[in-house]
Structure 1
Amino acid sequence: MSNVSPQIFKATNLAAGSLASFSALSQLSYLLTDFPAFLKAIFALGLAIPIVYLEFKVPPNLYRFASFYFSFIGRGLCLILLSLLLSYGGALKIIISLLLFVAGIAFTVVEFIPSIQEPDNFRPEGSSIAVGEDADDII
């Protein structure tokens, strides 16, 4: 098994989601000066808030509609997209975007390391831990 603590993934998700949310909220102030940046901020908020929310509670239907939140590669690509949406503005926003980009690359790479097990909140409700597990044989 893996020696990576699930708390590391939880802390990374909370930090990335919080930074993206705060950056998107600050970008909402561009409503009158730069409307495309304002629209990007709205999309970024829509992608960042579930990242934080999923660390506390998993909604039952979210896996059906947004299954990319439940895999390392999906979460990594989401963070990379967030970094691109929020890379507009001053130096602090560029640093936040760079941190989100690095976290997205790290999550994407972790997907291809078989010894690292996914956290509990990455599994949809009622699914088994292993692929080949014979928990309930249905005939």
Structure 2
Amino acid sequence: MGTQNYNNHRKFYPPHHFIYLPVLLILEVLGVYKIFKDPEYQTMWILFSIVIFLMFYLALMLRQHYALGLQNRLVRLEFKQRYFELFNKRSDEVEEKLNFGQIAALRFTYDEEFKELLDKALKGNVSGDQIKKSIKKWKPDHHRI
């Protein structure tokens, strides 16, 4: 695997992102096209388009809801563990002052930068995206969903 950084840290699941969703999108466009071009079966094409749209919507929402919900819990747990290892203290008070974007961004730092950027986030209300952009040495995470 190549070196991970801000520009390439997003992850895709090819069967879902590049096959299933594009096929649904093509079918939806076909259904809407046929609604206007095939008046004899217009009701059938309306129903077809509604079903395809619902499949598309559910695929996006369920995937996001389950995978990201679980991943967010793990990110918080990882933050707590890392904070304890570095400072030998519980992170409850610190974690309350950070939003999830900041906590998630700190995952991509090595320990030396973690302390520095955590301090910046606590004092300067730096966004998660700003934290990611200011990382000098990116700590890759190839196990995300």
Per residue, is there more helix in 1 or in 2?
2
Larger Rg: 2
| Fold match by TM threshold 0.5 | no
* TM-score calculated relative to the size of structure 1: 0.31
* TM-score calculated relative to the size of structure 2: 0.30
